[in-house]
Amino acid sequence: MAETAGSRQTVILTVDDDPGVSRAVARDLRRRYGGMYRIVRAESAATALDALRELKLRGDLVAVILADYRMPQMNGIEFLEQAVDIYPSARRVLLTAYADTNAAIDAINVVDLDHYLLKPWDPPEEKLYPVLDDLLAAWRASDHKQVPTTKVVGHRWSAQSSAVREFLARNQVPYRWYSCDEPEGQRLLTAAQADSERLPLVITPDGTTLVEPAEPDLAAQVGLATMPTEDFYDLIVIGGGPAGLGAAVYGASEGLRTVLVERSATGGQAGQSSRIENYLGFPDGVSGAQLTDRARRQATKFGAEILTAREVTGLEVTGSSRGVRFADGSVISGHSVILATGVSYRQLEVPGLAPLTGCGVYYGSALTEAAACSGEDVYIVGGANSAGQAAMYLARGAKSVTLLVRGPSLSASMSHYLIQQIEQAPNISVRTGTVVEAAHGSDHLEQLTLRDVATGQTELVDAQWMFVFIGAAPLTDWLEGTVTRDPRGFIVAGPDLTIGGQEPSGWDLDRPPYHLETNVPGVFVAGDARSESAKRVASAVGEGAMAVMLVHRYLEQS
């Protein structure tokens, strides 16, 4: 058996197969060290190893391990050999009889033993405590302290590992990354008894392990809200970008029972931006992550619920009720809905690229990968603001950044201030009239074939990193047959619905639709998902606020 206390303290572990000796050791340890350390007692080597693995997964620290030499199945030296793989910085003590002193001396070389104690150790004030006092002092002086946090173990070039890291980072969940090839990654895999062929492995602060987790399972285990607290709301906001967060802030602050539903992470495309410099009120710029975090905290302060990792698959209209159906079949309903689903980056359709997505090829900034780009050559595909912001951010550490732009210049799609910054950056170059023809690599990106649009000539370049920003596709397919969309999939609203003097399809009210109202009364759209919207953070936030004003008008007349 293993005895543990419930408090989260640094651990001293003792293992002895003799119950009487085991209790005596634990008694003496608690008498002297129980106020500062948690004493864990085990009566077999196997049980002690299980306890160490559990402590490792929970992120607890182990300062000293005391093991009896003569234990069946696994003696003390064999036990310490395995224990040191789990906690290499823990001080190691072997309890021996006089006849076993030669074995104890040999163990100094085998397991780097710190000390051996002869049994019996009475009185402990003379034979036990001085030894442990010195070992604990040495342990405290070493740089080993850990902060309880989520741990991710995975392959360096793994799309799924990259996706998990990006999900945690964008949801402001602190985590530490361990490659499965480094010693600590191997120790965590051993502690979790995990298969290195099934990664990533996620270990939460309480020691829960998740293998190849789906986003809903991961969200639930790291403390993100995934389940609504009510069945019916005044306002359901779908999408957590600037428009959705703006709507949630204004809706909740004005007394509406508000829930925001986000399929992955709040912030949308803006949340992935390394620096937004033309947003009102931030003359020195603000990162998308900072802006998102402030908006999310502001929304929750006013009482808005935020559900993460919930995919919406349908919109249901039942009388005055508007229902939102999730992928798992559950439904929440409300008086009104604001569609702020935003857009996603279009996929670059070239040979060899799809298998390398997440393995050197990324859509959006993928800021978790920025540190790994230090000293490397980076390629960015696209010529709009998001591409320019990423170029400036990555250029801080990268050896070189090359912008690949299909058009003849940046001026048609990028803000003037960004063009000026790029021109002044010594390690950023712009290749206009250039497209990616193919991508090459086995387990990660290794080369790109580039083609000159004007001449058709191709060039093969070495490349391990490419970030793609090539326009946006609206996330509105799930609204097919319910909400009117334009030929590109963007949602049509307000006056655009009545062009030609005809009533919108399905409209049954005497009044025309409000400015941001769709063809379904009480369902509004805000931000990038709206047809002919400005595609700017400021306008998205403004539309979110305006949509809430129109929701109030709708509710007053319903």
pLDDT tens digits along 186-206: 999 999 999 888 999 999 988
DSSP H or E stretch at residue 38: strand 38-42
Mean pLDDT of the chain: 90
Banded model confidence at residue 39, pLDDT cuts 50, 70, 90: very high
Banded model confidence at residue 239, pLDDT cuts 50, 70, 90: very high
Q: What is the mean pLDDT of residues 259-263?
A: 97
At position 67, the amino acid (one-letter code) is A
Residue 121 has pLDDT above 90, yes or no: no
Task: State how far the alpha carbon of 219 is from the alpha carbons of 60, 203, 233, in Å.
Answer: 23, 13, 23
pLDDT at 101: 67
Q: Where is pLDDT greater, at 273 or 33? A: 33
Residue 422 has pLDDT above 80, yes or no: yes
pLDDT at 4: 41
Q: Where is pLDDT greater, at 149 or 443? A: 443
pLDDT at 140: 87
**CATH 3.50.50.60 intervals, the chain:** 232-344+473-557, 354-470
pLDDT at 108: 65
Q: What is the mean pLDDT of residues 466-474?
A: 91
Banded model confidence at residue 5, pLDDT cuts 50, 70, 90: very low
Q: Note the pLDDT tens digit of each residue in 98-115.
A: 766 666 666 666 667 888
pLDDT at 1: 42
- What DSSP line would sit under 370-389, residue for residue? TGGGTTSEEEEE--SHHHHH
DSSP H or E stretch at residue 80: helix 76-86
| Structure-block tokens of residue 89 | 């910085």
User: Are 40 and 25 contacting, i.e. CB atoms less than 8 angstroms apart?
Assistant: no
Candidates 487, 523, 191; CA nearest to 334 is 523
User: Are 370 and 394 contacting, i.e. CB atoms less than 8 angstroms apart?
Assistant: yes
Tell me 207's DSSP state.
-
Place of tokens 């990028």: 414
Candidates 516, 514, 513; CA nearest to 540 is 516
For residue 129, count other CB atoms closer than 10 A to its CB.
Answer: 17
Q: What is the mean pLDDT of residues 44-63?
A: 90
Banded model confidence at residue 500, pLDDT cuts 50, 70, 90: low
Q: Where is pLDDT greater, at 308 or 144? A: 308
Query: What span, in angstroms and rounded, lies between the C-alpha atoms of 343 and 525?
Result: 13
Q: Note the pLDDT tens digit of each residue in 139-148.
A: 888 766 555 6
**CATH 3.40.30.10 intervals, the chain:** 150-221
| Structure-block tokens of residue 284 | 């020195």
The distance between the two most distant Cα atoms of the chain, rounded to a whole number of Å, is 102
For the chain, give the percent of residues with pLDDT over 70: 94
Q: Burial-class residue 126 by CB neighbours within 10 Å (0-12, 13-18, 19+).
A: exposed
Banded model confidence at residue 275, pLDDT cuts 50, 70, 90: confident
Q: What is the mean pLDDT of residues 523-529?
A: 97
pLDDT at 3: 44
Query: What span, in angstroms and rounded, lies between the C-alpha atoms of 224 and 216?
Result: 9
Candidates 35, 7, 3, 8; CA nearest to 22 is 3
Q: Where is pLDDT greater, at 28 or 369? A: 28
Query: What span, in angstroms and rounded, lies between the C-alpha atoms of 262 and 196?
Result: 32
**CATH 3.40.50.2300 intervals, the chain:** 2-141
Candidates 201, 193, 221; CA nearest to 46 is 193
Cβ neighbours for 487, distance < 8 A, ≥ 6 positions apart: none
pLDDT at 112: 74
Lowest-confidence region among 15-24, 237-246, 514-523: 15-24
pLDDT at 253: 97
What's the half-sphere exposure (Cβ side, CA atoms, 13 Å) at 5? 15
Q: Which of 9-18, 76-85, 367-376 has the highest mean pLDDT?
A: 9-18
Place of tokens 């402990």: 124
pLDDT at 2: 46
Lowest-confidence region among 7-16, 228-237, 362-371, 547-556: 362-371
CATH of domain 354-470: 3.50.50.60
Query: What span, in angstroms and rounded, lies between the C-alpha atoms of 70 and 193?
Result: 26
Q: Are strands 258-262 and 305-308 parallel, antiparallel or unpaired?
A: parallel
Residue 135 has pLDDT above 70, yes or no: yes
Query: What span, in angstroms and rounded, lies between the C-alpha atoms of 216 and 263?
Result: 9
Residue 91 has pLDDT above 50, yes or no: yes
pLDDT at 146: 56
User: Are 180 and 186 contacting, i.e. CB atoms less than 8 angstroms apart?
Assistant: yes
Superfamily of domain 2-141: Response regulator (3.40.50.2300)
Task: State how far the alpha carbon of 230 is from the alpha carbons of 235, 246, 327, 558, in Å.
Answer: 12, 22, 18, 22
Query: What span, in angstroms and rounded, lies between the C-alpha atoms of 360 and 338?
Result: 36
pLDDT at 553: 96
Buried/exposed 189-226: b ≥16 CB within 10 Å, e otherwise: bbbbebeeeebbbbbbbebebbeebebbebbbbbebbb
Candidates 183, 185, 182, 114; CA nearest to 151 is 185
Fold entry, domain 232-344+473-557: FAD/NAD(P)-binding domain (3.50.50)
Residue 520 has pLDDT above 90, yes or no: yes
Q: Does the model's pTM come out above 0.85?
A: no
Fold entry, domain 150-221: Glutaredoxin (3.40.30)
